[in-house]
Structure 1
Amino acid sequence: MAARIAVVGGGVGGLSSAILLARRGFEVEVFERDAPPPADLADVQSWPRPGAPQSHHPHVYLGLFRRLLRENLPDVLRDMHDHGVDELPFSGIRGPVEPGDEDLVMMAARRNTLEWALHRAVAGESRIRLHSGVSAQLAEPVDGVLTGVRTAAGVVDFDVVIDATGARSKVGQQYLETVSEAECGKVYNSRFYALRDGVQRPPLQHGSVTVVDGLGYGAALFAHDCGVFSIDIGRLPEDEALKKLRDPDAFDRVVALFDKFAPWFAAGNATPISDVVPMPGLRNVLRTLKPDAPRGYFPLGDRVCLTDPTFGRGLALALAHAVRLAETFSTADGDLTRLNARTTREQVEFVRPWFDDVVVQDVARTSLWRAAVKGESWQDLLADAPPNPFLMIDAEEHDPELGLAARRYVSMLTRTVDTTEVYERIQAIMELSEAGEQAASTAPTYTDVLAALDA
């Protein structure tokens, strides 16, 4: 008889894990404290998700995520395509896509749309019971084994409990310890808009994203499904002046500074469909199990690794974790509860290069922004900064192989661009300082942004 599995948390990681396990013969029950999605995708923008505040912010779906979805949940991918999710090329100027680069695309979708499609897949699985609007805690371990979950109705016994409750949850925190932690150095402010009916989506710079790489701030526009798009403007956590971005009128005045975004708003093409939502307190966190954690407790996704949303890696890492866990369970002999220490250790080893890379990138960006805001010489910091993949892409007219390496890295199809060969190729095109100055010169200055906020 297959093990009975509880999944606590019905976000992307939890739902994906439940589907993958059910299709391998396991009986799964999902406990999600938020309400289920609306039946009609047209209503998904107003779906309240207090348990997933990140749903109010833009997401990108990188090549690795798309590959994992294509290989493991192809029906979910088809359903998203059937309901207005486009795949935008991220293959650059090289011509035809080379073998192995089929996933150099970005999916244009809202987070809520992805979860809506996952819920539809869950509804079609007879081995999954979904408890929406039900808050679940972990039951007390017995003889070192976690035996189930506790709800308002009492304790429900399970053989294994998967904790997919997210980065800031207190569920299971007594069983986790931090391996590494660092601030992201950024506060996000996001707003969603919708194109008028019949308006064609303007061209984008990088797959589903257009980036404004400023000094002291940063901005990006994200294309989503069904004519919806969003804009995010990031600031330093300590920057009191840019806190005014929370005001919708001030936010839109700053947005109007960005020439790259202008086609989306020309002739009244778009209207806002949300307030400006800030997202403070962001940290990169890598966790593992404590030595005395009970058997049968399996943290998943953001419970193990949380990275700066700037890089869009969280969804791919969570889905990769769900796939690995399902494969491990389906091929294991005997007691599944004893696998938690090994599978968590393996996930930490898998995500560690991505985590460390994000921390290095965050430190470099934050140092540049702080120098620029203080009026200090930020150019001196460029020589020690890690390679900027978007500058590498911008230089691919001169070095297509450099651009391809950057695109694969951004898509998470390769691990790093921080190699001696990459540095040599960058130096052959331009000095790093010149590259940085060229990029910065295309964006409004920090002073321009302050003036727009105060207009």
Structure 2
Amino acid sequence: MSKAVIVGGGIGGLATAIAFMRRGWEVEVLERSTRIEEVGAGLSLWPNAIRALDALGLGEAVRRQAREQGAAGIRGSRGNWLSRTDTDAVRVRYGNPVMMHRADLLDILRRAIPEYAVRKGISVTTAEVDGTVVHSAGTSTGDVVVGADGIHSVVRRAVCGLIEPRYSGYTAWRVIVTPAEPVADMGESWGSGERFGYSALPDGRVYCFATADMAADTRGGGLIELRTRFGSWHEPIPALLAAADETAILKHDLYDLPPLKTYTAGRIALIGDAAHAMTPNLGQGACQALEDAVVLAHVATRDDDLTRYDSQRRPRTQMIVKRSRLIGSVGQLSSPLAVLARNALLRSTPPSVQFKSLARVLDWECC
């Protein structure tokens, strides 16, 4: 029986384990943490990700625990509409985007894998192109080694050497709140060097995220700063911040990866953030990791040449990284003239044009 050693037990790593198991492979997941869990953050799953989950046999389980996304678009800080998403057209052409808690998806994935296949508390030191993985508990060997160990991947060094992530120029806050009044829609609001977004979760809670231009590693920036920056923006933003708990706020600088020359070397293949970490502006980070999982298992089962995985996945994912980075740069514009020009362009762009621009991202079919 062929074996896949998967370094990393996050969404991408677990999805890859399931994809290989469904094709009759033995899997061994090496996870550095002693517990596999996700903290408070929402997750958008676009139709391309739902198709990947269907290929893993988990689409229905996810739909049962997710909420279909409602009306969406981009507003100014005062609530004036700059752009509306044609959600009906997206549903008709591609299927229903959904929103769920990241922890719920992780739990669905985890329950699909035998307990013995996931080894927790294992720190990987090196990976070799011959399929050997050296770690804190000894060594593991696989016909395929999957680097699913995130933006600071250890496995990636064996594929491309040391690659430094790129700072986007802005930081992000995330928090899940229970508002006093229900929120049914979703969307983003763009200001000057700042953005605020929110989306309803299935249980009545609301996932909120915000960004602001800031030097990397800037300390502080909790609830007081969020209310100072966004408390005078349009509703329901002030009400959402009023419901926020200081201890639940997550703050992280946002990074992505420069384009790698390859995602594979010998028996090693990179997936998810280890291969193509991206800013969250398109909501495609986890979606692309799910696609990776399906394609990699398909390629590895058909032949020993993993370069076909690279040729299928690298152009697509690097296009999405580039597009996401560009959207973030536009959303974070702070010059008054640039903001005016950006807002005017958004208002003058028909929803049909925006819909067509989604085609290259959403129009993906499983192999």
| TM-score, normalised relative to structure 2 | 0.81
Return the alpha-carbon distance in structure 1 between the equivalents of residues 310 and 164 of structure 2: 15
1:95 shift after superposition = 9.6
Return the alpha-carbon distance in structure 1 between the equivalents of residues 315 and 152 of structure 2: 22
Contact kept, 8 Å, 1:187 with 1:278, in 2: the verdict is: yes
Q: Which residue of 1 aligns with 2:328?
A: 362
1:302 shift after superposition = 1.4
Judged with a 3 Å threshold, the aligned counterparts in structure 2 of structure 1 residues 285 and 194 are, in CA distance, closer, same or farther, namely farther
Q: Which residue of 2 aligns with 1:10?
A: 9
Q: Does 1:120 align with 2:69?
A: no
Please give the secondary structure, in 2, of the residue aligned with 1:219: strand
Q: Which residue of 1 aligns with 2:66?
A: 85
Q: Does 1:221 align with 2:220?
A: no
Return the alpha-carbon distance in structure 1 between the equivalents of residues 161 and 139 of structure 2: 26
Gaps of 5+ in 2: 73-83
Q: Which residue of 2 aligns with 1:277?
A: 250
1:33 shift after superposition = 1.5
Return the alpha-carbon distance in structure 1 between the equivalents of residues 46 and 317 of structure 2: 16
Return the alpha-carbon distance in structure 2 between the equivalents of residues 379 and 95 of structure 1: 26
Return the alpha-carbon distance in structure 2 between the equivalents of residues 273 and 123 of structure 1: 37
Contact kept, 8 Å, 2:131 with 2:268, in 1: the verdict is: no
Q: Does 1:352 align with 2:318?
A: yes
Please give the secondary structure, in 2, of the residue aligned with 1:109: strand
Please give the secondary structure, in 1, of the residue aligned with 2:178: strand
Q: How do residues 236-251 of structure 1 correspond to structure 2 at under 5 angstroms?
A: 236-238=213-215, 246-251=221-226
Judged with a 3 Å threshold, the aligned counterparts in structure 2 of structure 1 residues 148 and 281 are, in CA distance, closer, same or farther, namely same
Please give the secondary structure, in 1, of the residue aligned with 2:227: helix
Q: What is the aligned-residue identity percentage?
A: 18
Please give the secondary structure, in 1, of the residue aligned with 2:293: helix
- 1:230-266 deviation digits (Å, cap 9, x = unpaired): 32221112399xx687132332354432323259559
Please give the secondary structure, in 1, of the residue aligned with 2:33: coil
AA paired with 1:101?
A: R
1:80 shift after superposition = 3.2
Contact kept, 8 Å, 2:7 with 2:30, in 1: the verdict is: yes
Contact kept, 8 Å, 1:58 with 1:111, in 2: the verdict is: yes
Q: Which moved more, 1:351-360 or 1:161-170?
A: 351-360
Please give the secondary structure, in 2, of the residue aligned with 1:215: coil
Max Rg structure: 1
Q: Which residue of 2 aligns with 1:419?
A: none
Contact kept, 8 Å, 1:194 with 1:228, in 2: the verdict is: yes
Q: How do residues 434-445 of structure 1 correspond to structure 2 at under 5 angstroms?
A: none
Contact kept, 8 Å, 2:266 with 2:306, in 1: the verdict is: yes
Judged with a 3 Å threshold, the aligned counterparts in structure 2 of structure 1 residues 85 and 365 are, in CA distance, closer, same or farther, namely closer
Return the alpha-carbon distance in structure 2 between the equivalents of residues 153 and 96 of structure 1: 51
1:171 shift after superposition = 3.3
Q: Which among 225, 231, 243 is matched to residue 208 of structure 2?
A: 231
Q: Which residue of 2 aligns with 1:153?
A: 137
Please give the secondary structure, in 2, of the residue aligned with 1:156: strand
Return the alpha-carbon distance in structure 1 between the equivalents of residues 342 and 234 of structure 2: 26
Q: Which among 371, 374, 378 is matched to residue 338 of structure 2?
A: 378
Higher relative contact order (CA 8 A, sep 6+): 2
Q: Which residue of 1 aligns with 2:18?
A: 19
Judged with a 3 Å threshold, the aligned counterparts in structure 2 of structure 1 residues 323 and 263 are, in CA distance, closer, same or farther, namely same
1:170 shift after superposition = 2.9
Of Structure 1 and Structure 2, which has the larger fraction of its residues in strand? 2
1:325 shift after superposition = 0.7
Q: Which residue of 2 aligns with 1:445?
A: none
Gaps of 5+ in 1: 38-46, 50-54, 416-455
1:222 shift after superposition = 2.6
Contact kept, 8 Å, 1:191 with 1:274, in 2: the verdict is: no
Judged with a 3 Å threshold, the aligned counterparts in structure 2 of structure 1 residues 187 and 250 are, in CA distance, closer, same or farther, namely closer
When the two chains are superposed, the root-mean-square deviation of aligned CA atoms in Å is 3.6
Return the alpha-carbon distance in structure 2 between the equivalents of residues 90 and 403 of structure 1: 15
Return the alpha-carbon distance in structure 2 between the equivalents of residues 93 and 350 of structure 1: 23
- 1:306-330 deviation digits (Å, cap 9, x = unpaired): 2111221111111111111111122
1:414 shift after superposition = 5.0
Q: Which residue of 1 aligns with 2:80?
A: none
Return the alpha-carbon distance in structure 2 between the equivalents of residues 253 and 327 of structure 1: 50
Contact kept, 8 Å, 1:177 with 1:287, in 2: the verdict is: no
Aligned pairs, number = 353
Return the alpha-carbon distance in structure 2 between the equivalents of residues 178 and 210 of structure 1: 37
1:120 shift after superposition = 1.2
Return the alpha-carbon distance in structure 1 between the equivalents of residues 259 and 178 of structure 2: 36
Contact kept, 8 Å, 1:7 with 1:162, in 2: the verdict is: yes
Contact kept, 8 Å, 2:48 with 2:363, in 1: the verdict is: no
- 1:338-393 deviation digits (Å, cap 9, x = unpaired): x2344224321222322232333334344x22x24xxxx3258649x9x75xx578
Contact kept, 8 Å, 1:30 with 1:130, in 2: the verdict is: yes
Q: Which among 305, 311, 318 is matched to residue 276 of structure 2?
A: 305
- 1:5-63 deviation digits (Å, cap 9, x = unpaired): 100101111111110110111111111122345xxxxxxxxx4x5xxxxx554432222
Return the alpha-carbon distance in structure 2 between the equivalents of residues 146 and 227 of structure 1: 49
Return the alpha-carbon distance in structure 2 between the equivalents of residues 102 and 363 of structure 1: 27
Q: Which residue of 1 aligns with 2:76?
A: none
1:118 shift after superposition = 0.7
